[in-house]
A and B are shown apart, each in its own frame.
Chain A
Amino acid sequence: MADPNIDPVGRPAAEPASVVRIRGVDKRFDAGGQRVTTALSGIDLEIWRGEFVSLIGPSGCGKSTLLRLIGDLTAPTEGSVEVNGKPAHAARLGREYGMVFQAPVLFDWRTVEDNVRLPLELLGLDRSERDRRIAAMLELVELSDFARHHPYQLSGGMQQRVAIARALALQPAILLMDEPFGALDEMTRERMNSEVLRIWQQTGTTIVFVTHSIPEAVFLSTRVVVMSARPGRITRVVDVPLGNPRNDLTREDPRYFQLVTEVREALRAGGGFDTDAPMASADRLNAEGGIG
């Protein structure tokens, strides 16, 4: 079912290429007056083409800020962020990102297909190419039958799939997802996790994924980047050598449990949790919420 037209990278994938290279990044915010908040400190991270990397950590660890730095939605105070071998700013102007937020952020005056059309209009593609890509994207997220619907007629999960289709319509080198399923119920979330894995495998897009959920991070990722707060920093990177494709059986694999435990312990070692209220389970972490 792999459609060569929706290969997002479209260049040889033979040699491992660096898609994101972060060197010595600090990010500080003026908190008003003399106060300065250090959101991120000493971040070094390299992400390779075709990887699925999750950023996980407690609220305030700067994982969303890190994602926004990669997407050039905010600039680092120190250090450099390169995407596809050029500064993040140049990569954004080159439209090499797809962005998915926690809320779908669909334009309610546009139908599903017109929402997916939006980035293609901005790119100035001709009509036939636009229509072809829209059809391919909606097929990818299995919403072809809903092309003419308006966002309010769709469920939360379907709306988020439209947002994914919209983000992938530009065939970006990298897809940035900021807690995309945080607002969904647990059942929908698991289904969306399988969806996003299928899309990842089908398109080969590099994905950076911010989450609060340990099981979600382990299930989806090839690597889990564990962060801690005050100041936000990377405390550990956990490789996830679970095979692909992953499915419901993966969630019952002992190695999966082992990795979930490993990530949880890494989080705890980073001082991510209040020690007087130890986390009993990953579900507890799911329930935490927050903006990270």
Chain B
Amino acid sequence: MPRSPERGSLARIGIFVGFFVFLLLVWEGLKFIGGDPWRTDTWTWEPPLEIWFASDLLLPHVWDIFGALANPVQRGADESLAQFLLGAALYTWREAAIGFVVGAIIGIALAAVFVHSRLLERAFVPYVIASQTIPIVALAPMIVFAFGQDVISVVIIATYLTFFPVTIAMIRGLRSPDPRALELMRSYAASRWSVLWKLRMPASLPYLFTALKISATASIVGAIVGEGPGGIPDGLGRAIINFNSQYISGPEKLWAAIVACAILGIAFFSLIRVAEIVALRGRGMRTEAA
């Protein structure tokens, strides 16, 4: 008997949560056998071994990381670390989302051009690929130099990381229709434009969403990396740089910022996933998994 969908998704959530708990146990387990002494008011535990990376500096206690979220972001500040990180994450997400949308449009447009011209495809795809072999850390300062220390620079960097997966996937997706479907359109004397809008584009949606899920996370990385040279003080990028410089006195803050980045990435990814489910419903294909 096939498993019901409810049971399937319950199992998935169970495995996800179970693995999370497992990671926490490994984390704290390492600290228990090889980290710094565990101290409470009444009780002290001396781990028997010494594992260099299990120290409180490199691997703070999980409860210290989550505890730091509730503490003020700075001594004397009204704002808690959690509130600060939420604000920073939303700010970074806005930059990433704008870059994501612009990058997706550029990627789709490039693919549409390439699909209609083998010549242009052969001539320009190597450049598209070359563009992605340049490390973003090398490119970001140049973009900032060109466009100034402004949000626009960060958006451009996010765009830069977004358009590539979309271009490559859409070249494939726009070519995905059954040859007979193209003949059908030909028998209706459909224009290239009609073929693009009524056949190629809808047929490419599954490919597009696969690329968009990659791009969603890439655009966030781009925005975070770009905020440093871009001189943007309000996002996660600057928070990471700041907390990095304060690492010795409070390592858990940097860890909390990393957690915030991860949650932001998962949230953006999930948003695209939901859009995918809505856009592809009715096609009778399994849109399962990532």
Contact = CB atoms under 8 A, between A and B. Distances in A.
Contact of A111 (B178, B183, B205, B282): B282
Contacts of A111: 282
B198 A153 contact: no
Contacts of A73: 183, 186-187
Contacts of A71: 187
A119 interface: yes
Contacts of A122: 188-190, 194, 198
A109 B181 contact: no
27 contacts: A73-B187, A92-B186, A93-B189, A95-B189, A99-B187, A101-B183, A101-B184, A103-B180, A105-B180, A105-B181, A107-B198, A107-B199, A107-B202, A109-B280, A109-B282, A118-B188, A118-B198, A121-B198, A122-B190, A122-B194, A123-B188, A150-B282, A152-B283, A152-B284, A152-B285, A153-B284, A170-B188
A60 interface: no
Interface string B277-290: 00010111100000
B111 to A, nearest CB: 18
Chain B facing A: main interface SS: helix
A119 B203 CA distance: 17
Contacts of B202: 107, 109-110
Can you list the 8 inter-chain pairs with the closest CB atoms, starting with the nearest? A152-B284, A99-B187, A150-B282, A109-B202, A108-B283, A105-B180, A93-B189, A101-B180
Contacts of B180: 101, 103, 105
Given A150-B284, A151-B284, A152-B284, A107 B183 contact: no
Contacts of A103: 178, 180
Given A121-B198, A151-B284, A105 B178 contact: yes
A105 B184 contact: yes
Which of the listed residues B184, B187, B188, B190 has the most CB atoms from chain A within 10 Å of its own CB?
Answer: B187
A95 B180 CA distance: 17
A111 B202 CA distance: 13
Contacts of B188: 95, 118-119, 122-123, 170
Interface in A59-111: 71, 73, 92-95, 97-99, 101, 103, 105, 107-111
